[in-house]
Chains A and B, each alone.
Chain A
Amino acid sequence: EVQLVESGGGLVQPGRSLRLSCAASGFTFDDYAMKWVRQVPGKGLEWVSGISWNSDTIDYADSVKGRFTVSRDNARNSLYLQMNSLRAEDTALYYCAKAGCGGTRCYINYWGQGTLVTVSS
């Protein structure tokens, strides 16, 4: 059974940093691209970032480019999102998501439960 467990969310002041982690299990992690998608509670879905199976292809939404960095450790079956210079508008539930292919131009076929990030003073 595919499991994606996010951690690292919490309350953080504007301008500070936070690192999200996603522990993956139940599939061969290094065969698949991974993505981060966020959702303001009660609102729609916003794609944040994607990383290919071998980290050769990495993409970001313009809203986070230059502030967020996605990475993965295939030996640890883990995905990360380093979030710097956080803003109030980054407040959201952050989902870790597995793609159905190794490349990033692929559908999401599994979602984690999400970890809540709140940026506030």
Chain B
Amino acid sequence: DIVMTQSPDSLAVSLGERATINCKSSQSVLYSSNDKNYLAWHQQKPGQPPKLLIYWASTREYGVPDRFSGSGSGTDFTLTISSLQAEDVAVYYCQQYYSTPETFGQGTKVEIK
């Protein structure tokens, strides 16, 4: 199984400041045949289901604000919130869909400092 490890577990950032979440996979999720990283980021606000933010490691889902961006390749990935807003308080999960069982990171809780 591919193990997904996020860091940090929690993060407190001032409004308007940058938040950075890292995700490391225990093996590459880059498929050489199509040069795509099978990595997604989901946001889960309290009491709500998750919501897709980023897929193929760096493609922003339609309607997601452009302050959210994803980067990385192979085994190391980053989700960046360029200017944290109050509505971004949530738990963020990375997920690999390269192979089954699909696996999620443990989650990173983002709060306002």
Contacts of A61 in B (CB 8 A): 101
Which segment of A17-25, A69-77, A107-115 sits at the interface?
A107-115
**For residues 76 through 121 of chain A, which have their beta carbon under 8 Å from a beta carbon of chain B?**
95, 100, 104-114
Q: How far is the CB of B24 from chain A (nearest CB, A)?
A: 16
**Are B52 and A47 within 8 A (Cβ)?**
no
Q: How far is the CB of A45 from chain B (nearest CB, A)?
A: 4
**Are A108 and B101 within 8 A (Cβ)?**
no
Q: How far is the CB of A104 from chain B (nearest CB, A)?
A: 7
> 1/0 contact trace for A27-64 toward B, CB 8 Å?
00000000100000000111100100000000101100
Among A46, A107, A110, max chain B CB count under 10 A is at: A107
Among A45, A106, A108, max chain B CB count under 10 A is at: A45
Query: Which bucket holds chain A's interface residue count?
Result: 20 to 34
Contacts of B107 in A (CB 8 A): 44-45
Does B55 touch A at the CB level, under 8 Å?
Answer: yes
Name the residue of chain A whose CB is nearest to the CB of B54. A107
**For residues 67 through 113 of chain B, which have their beta carbon under 8 Å from a beta carbon of chain A?**
93, 95, 97-107
Contacts of A109 in B (CB 8 A): 52, 55, 61
Contacts of B101 in A (CB 8 A): 47, 59, 61-62
**Are B56 and A59 within 8 A (Cβ)?**
no
Contacts of A35 in B (CB 8 A): 102
A77 to B105, CA, bound (A): 31
- With A47-B103, A105-B38, A108-B50 known, 11 other A-B pairs at CB within 8 A are A44-B104, A45-B95, A45-B104, A47-B95, A47-B101, A47-B102, A47-B104, A59-B100, A108-B52, A108-B97, A113-B49
Give residues in A with beta carbon < 8 Å to B.
Answer: 35, 44-47, 50, 59, 61-62, 95, 100, 104-114
* Top 10 A-B residue pairs of the complex, sorted by shortest distance between their CB atoms: A107-B55, A111-B49, A47-B102, A59-B100, A107-B40, A45-B104, A61-B101, A109-B52, A44-B107, A111-B50
